[in-house]
Amino acid sequence: MKQEESKSVTELMEYPPDTAGGLMTNRYVWIPRSFTVREAVAKLKVFAEITKHIYYFYVVDKDRRLISFLSHRDLVLADSDDLVEDLMYQRVISVPPHMDQEEVASIFQKYDLLSVPVVDEQDHLAGIVTVDDVIDVMIEETNEDIGKFAASGKDIDFHTSAFSAAKRRLPWLILLLFLGMLSGSIISFFEGTLQKAVALSLFMPMIAGMRVIPAHSLSLSLSGVWLRTNLKKDSLPRPFSVN
């Protein structure tokens, strides 16, 4: 491994894996605001082979502080002599390196992004988080939430053996068993009352049928976890930084 690559890997390992810094990659394309479109395209050709995902081009100043960004479409439609600073957007979404991965995933979904830049406290561009990494986060977080709902722990692994799965759920099943026994004891305690007022027994099937309500609520909750519905969409075309 080259010395520069080793240094980059070391810097990335400084951040917890469940944060924006842990998800980010240092393989991205940045361009100075003083570049022309011709110079930007030339730099893209140089870095295209070593950069896995190029969704946006990030515009920085002389101190490599993030200013704005451009898309492929912006460069394709522009003239070769146009300046980057005349084409770049006025606002850009960015995240701090210690932001939780679930919050990062929410930002991707809210603004329909393909990548998000990660900046430090001085707005220096440290890396980017791509949509490919965020998809993995969404699946992980959804499985964790479903596992909590299903009383099977934080993680769900469909390849887990039957014994391990039963061991994980056994405490909750035992608890539900004792709760059922408690319900039966309460009913037996009022057995005399039921014999005197037979009409009350008509309500027992109705009460038992109400167990469908938690299942219905659970299905709605799982749907909300999966979709992450956010009704309050930002009306700005290019929102400000998220820090």
Task: Render pLDDT for 209-222 as a digit per residue (tens, 0 to 9).
Answer: 666 666 666 666 66
User: Average pLDDT in the 59-79 region?
Assistant: 91
Domain extent listing, the chain: 3-139, 151-190
Phi, psi angles (nearest 5°) of residue 216: -65, -45
Taking the whole predicted model, whether its pTM rises above 0.85 is answered as no
Which DSSP category does 94 fall into? -
CA atoms within 13 A on the CB side of 145: 17
Residues 62 and 64: their CA atoms lie apart, in Å, by 5
Looking at domain 3-139, its CATH architecture is Roll (3.10)
Residue 12 has pLDDT above 70, yes or no: no
Under a CB-based contact definition with an 8 Å cutoff, are residues 79 and 86 in contact?
no
Which tens digits make up the pLDDT trace of 14-61?
889 889 999 998 888 899 999 999 999 998 888 877 666 678 999 999
CB 48 within 8 A of CB 96: no
Give burial (CB, 10 Å; 0-12/13-18/19+) of 177: exposed
